[in-house]
Chains A and B, each alone.
Chain A
Amino acid sequence: MTFSPELEAKFARLVTHYPPGRERAALIPMLLFAQDEVGAITPEVVQEISRRLKVSPLEIEEVVSYYSMLHKEPRGRYHFQVCTNISCMLLGGAELFEYLKEKLGIDNHGVTPDGLFSLEEVECIGACSWAPALQVNYDYHHWVTRERLDRLIEDLRKVS
C-alpha cells in the first residue's frame, strides 16, 4: 500500500534519524502517523510497515498491543478522550465522562453509528492545572463544563 506524498516524505526522513541498522526505532512513530492517516492499524498497515522496516508482523502486533494510542478498529471522526485521573476527578472529570456517555449514547471505546464521535476514558493527559480536561483527537480542551461540551459537540456536528 502507499501513503500520501506528505507521509511518504515524513517516513523517508524518519528512518534517517536513527543509527544505521537501527531503523526499527522508527516503528512506533510510523505506526502512529500511519494510523492518523488511515484511521486504524489495519492488517495492511502492519504488512506494509513490516516490509519497510523488516520487522515481523508478529513483533509489530506485540508493539501495537502495548501502546494505548494505537488501535486496530477505526474510531469516530472526533475522538473524545476524557481524563478522569486524580486532578480531573477532583474537579468533575468522571461526571463529564458519564455525561458524554449519555449524551453520545455510547460506552467507553464506543463509536456513534454515524461514525462522527467516539469516546474513551483516558489516563492523565498533562493538563492537571487546567482541569477538568479532555482531548478531541490531538486538541486540548481545558476547564471543561457540560455547557462547553454541549457547544463543542454542536459545533463539531455543524462543520461536518
Chain B
Amino acid sequence: MLYNEPHPLEVRVLTRRFGLPNSQSIDTYLATDGYVGFRKALEMPPERIIEEVKISNLRGRGGAGFPAGLKWSFVPRESPKPKYVVVNADEGEPGTCKDRVLMENDPHQLLEGMLIAARAVGAETGYIYIRGEYRYIIEILDRAIEEAYARGYLGRNILGTGMNFDVYTHTGAGSYECGEESALLESLEGKRGQPRIRPPFPAVSGAFGCPTVLNNVETFCAVPAILRDGGAAFAALGTPRNGGTRLFALSGHVNRPGVYELPMGFNLLRMIEEVGGGIRGGRKLKAVIPGGTSCPILKAEECDVAMDFDSVAKAGSMLGSGGVIVMDETTDMVKVAVRVMRFYQHESCGWCVPCREGTIWLRKILERLDAGRGQPSDIDLVAEISRNMLGRTFCPLGDAAAMPTISYVQKFREEFEARLPKKVAVETPLVVV
C-alpha cells in the first residue's frame, strides 16, 4: 500500500506501478511491461547488458554512488566458481524508507533486476538479504518468487533459454552494520556482521568466497527500465554522470513527508517547498541532512543545491541513501548530534578501535554537553576525536559517525557553546579564626 499521496512533480519510473490494483502480482506486472527488459537482455550478449547499464549512468543507490555498470564489469565471468547476485535490502540508514516501498509495491521489478544482473555476470543463484524487521516484506517477496517460478521466470531453463536462476530471501536479525556490503556477506554466511578486509572486493570474492554482484534494492529496481527503454533514455532523466530518477524519503518538519521519485538533480529547496509542502507551522528552515544520518548537515543557506551525487558532494555533504531529513528553526542541534552518535555507538561492530572507542567517547562527551556539564574544551575535542576516526577503519561506519559530527559542531558551534555551564563565581571561604 501507499503511505503518502504521490506528487505531480514526480517522474515515476521505478514507482510507475505504485497504486495499481494488485501491484504486487505477476499478472499486473506482466500487463505493464513486466519482464520486457529481461526478455531483451536474454537476446543480448552479457557485455552488451553491462554496457547498457554503464550508458544509463546508474549509480549505487545504497549511498556510495558507485557506477553500477562498472561494478558489474569487475565480476570475472570466466571464473570457474559459481557467481551470485545479492540484493542489499538491509535498509537501515536513519531517514531512509524507500527500499521498503519498492519491495512492498512492486516486488517483481526487483526480481527482474536480479535476473538481468544474473544474465550479465552468469550467476545461477541470488539472495535478497533483508532486515529482520521487514518480516511482512519477506512474505511479499516469497510470494512473488513463487509466482515467478510458476510462470517460468525463475528456476531451471528459464523461458526455454537454458538459463538457470534461483532466488531466496534471507532475513537479517537487527544490525545496521550488515548494510555494509562485506558485513552483509559475513552475516549471509551465518556469522557476526563484521566487515571484511578489502581487497578482494565482492565482485571477485563475495558470497561464499565467489564472485558476487551486490547492489542496493533501488539500484536493481532501476535495471528493468534501463533494459526496456535503453540506457540513454534513463541517463537523460538525470544530470551528467547521474542517471535516472531516485526515490527520496522526505522526513522531519515538512507538511507532506513521504517517499517521492524525482529526477536526479532536483533542487533541494524546491523539494522541500513544492513536493514536501514547505515547513510545517509556517516556521523557517534551519538545516537538512540530505542523504541519511551519515551525511554532513547542510544549513538552510546551503540548501539551494541540485540533488545528485556530484552537486551534493560539492556542497560539502553526500547524496547518500536519499533520506532527506528536514529540520525547522526550533530544532536543537545538540540533541540531534547526541541522538545520531548514540545510534552509531550502538551499531559499531567493535572491530576497529577508532570506531569502537571513538563513538563511545563522542557519545559521552556530547551527552555531557547536552546535559550542561561540558567543559569549554569539549567542543573542539568532539571535532578532534571525529577527525582522528576518519579513514582509520575497515568499513565506512567510522566515517559515517565522524563526518556529520564534525559538521554539527562546526556549523552550529554557538548552540554547543550556549550549553556550557555558566561560570560560577568562586566564593571567598569564610575564615573562622
Contact between B96 and A66 (Cβ–Cβ < 8 Å)?
Answer: no
Contact between B168 and A17 (Cβ–Cβ < 8 Å)?
Answer: yes
- Say whether B152 faces chain A, with CB atoms less than 8 Å apart: no
- Chain B binder among A97-105, A108-116, A128-136: A128-136
A25 to B293, CA, bound (A): 30
A93 to B327, CA, bound (A): 15
A24 cross-chain contacts in B, Cβ below 8 A: 189-191
- Say whether A40 faces chain B, with CB atoms less than 8 Å apart: no
In-complex Cβ contact of A70 among B97, B134, B174, B339 (8 A): B174
Q: Mark B106-134, 1 if CB is under 8 A from A, else 0.
A: 00000000000000000001010001111
Contact between B94 and A86 (Cβ–Cβ < 8 Å)?
Answer: yes
Contact between A129 and B259 (Cβ–Cβ < 8 Å)?
Answer: yes
From residue 1 to 15 of chain B, which have CB atoms closer than 8 A to chain A? 3-4
| Smallest CB gap from A140: residue in B | B136
Q: Mark A79-92, 1 if CB is under 8 A from B, else 0.
A: 00100111101110
Residues of A in contact, count (CB < 8 Å): 43
The smallest C-beta distance from A33 to any residue of chain B, in angstroms, reads: 8
Supposing A86-B336, A129-B250 touch, asked if A124 and B92 sit within 8 A by C-beta, the answer is yes
Contact between A128 and B251 (Cβ–Cβ < 8 Å)?
Answer: yes
Contact between A138 and B251 (Cβ–Cβ < 8 Å)?
Answer: no
- Say whether A32 faces chain B, with CB atoms less than 8 Å apart: yes
Contact between A29 and B175 (Cβ–Cβ < 8 Å)?
Answer: no
In-complex Cβ contact of A126 among B4, B91, B347 (8 A): B91
- Say whether A5 faces chain B, with CB atoms less than 8 Å apart: no
Q: Mark B213-252, 1 if CB is under 8 A from A, else 0.
A: 0000000000000000000000000000000000001111
Q: Mark B56-96, 1 if CB is under 8 A from A, else 0.
A: 00000000000000000000000000100000000111111
Q: Mark A59-94, 1 if CB is under 8 A from B, else 0.
A: 000110011111000000000010011110111000
Contact between B253 and A66 (Cβ–Cβ < 8 Å)?
Answer: no
Contact between B325 and A125 (Cβ–Cβ < 8 Å)?
Answer: no
The smallest C-beta distance from A82 to any residue of chain B, in angstroms, reads: 13
B168 cross-chain contacts in A, Cβ below 8 A: 17
B91 cross-chain contacts in A, Cβ below 8 A: 126
- Say whether B346 faces chain A, with CB atoms less than 8 Å apart: yes
A26 cross-chain contacts in B, Cβ below 8 A: 190
Contact between B131 and A126 (Cβ–Cβ < 8 Å)?
Answer: yes
Q: Mark A18-47, 1 if CB is under 8 A from B, else 0.
A: 110010111111011000000000000000
A27 to B347, CA, bound (A): 21
A126 to B193, CA, bound (A): 20
From residue 267 to 303 of chain B, which have CB atoms closer than 8 A to chain A? 289, 293
- Say whether A127 faces chain B, with CB atoms less than 8 Å apart: yes
| Smallest CB gap from B188: residue in A | A25
A63 to B193, CA, bound (A): 9
Contact between B208 and A128 (Cβ–Cβ < 8 Å)?
Answer: no
B323 cross-chain contacts in A, Cβ below 8 A: 87, 128
Contact between B94 and A32 (Cβ–Cβ < 8 Å)?
Answer: no
- Say whether B151 faces chain A, with CB atoms less than 8 Å apart: no
The smallest C-beta distance from A119 to any residue of chain B, in angstroms, reads: 16
- Say whether B257 faces chain A, with CB atoms less than 8 Å apart: yes
Contact between A125 and B336 (Cβ–Cβ < 8 Å)?
Answer: no
A29 to B133, CA, bound (A): 12
Best-buried of A19, A55, A124 by chain B (most CB within 10 Å): A124
- Say whether A150 faces chain B, with CB atoms less than 8 Å apart: no
Contact between A28 and B92 (Cβ–Cβ < 8 Å)?
Answer: no
- Say whether A52 faces chain B, with CB atoms less than 8 Å apart: no
Contact between B343 and A85 (Cβ–Cβ < 8 Å)?
Answer: yes
A139 to B136, CA, bound (A): 8
In-complex Cβ contact of B173 among A70, A129, A135 (8 A): A70
A52 to B92, CA, bound (A): 31
A129 cross-chain contacts in B, Cβ below 8 A: 3-4, 97, 249-251, 257-259
Contact between B192 and A126 (Cβ–Cβ < 8 Å)?
Answer: no
In-complex Cβ contact of A124 among B3, B94, B190, B250 (8 A): B94
| Smallest CB gap from B100: residue in A | A126
The smallest C-beta distance from A20 to any residue of chain B, in angstroms, reads: 10
The smallest C-beta distance from B329 to any residue of chain A, in angstroms, reads: 13
- Say whether B40 faces chain A, with CB atoms less than 8 Å apart: no
Q: Mark B124-164, 1 if CB is under 8 A from A, else 0.
A: 01010001111110000000000000000000000000000
Q: Can you list 20 A-B contacts (CB < 8 A)?
A: A24-B191, A28-B171, A28-B172, A28-B187, A28-B190, A32-B132, A66-B349, A67-B132, A67-B174, A68-B173, A69-B173, A86-B252, A86-B289, A86-B339, A87-B325, A90-B327, A124-B96, A127-B100, A128-B249, A130-B4
A residues sitting closer than 8 Å to B (CB atoms) are: 17-19, 22, 24-29, 31-32, 53, 55, 62-63, 66-70, 81, 84-87, 89-91, 123-131, 135, 138-140, 142
Q: Kindly list 5 other residue pairs between chains A and B, CB separation below 8 angstroms, not including A81-B133, A124-B176, A128-B249.
A: A22-B208, A66-B192, A124-B93, A125-B133, A139-B136
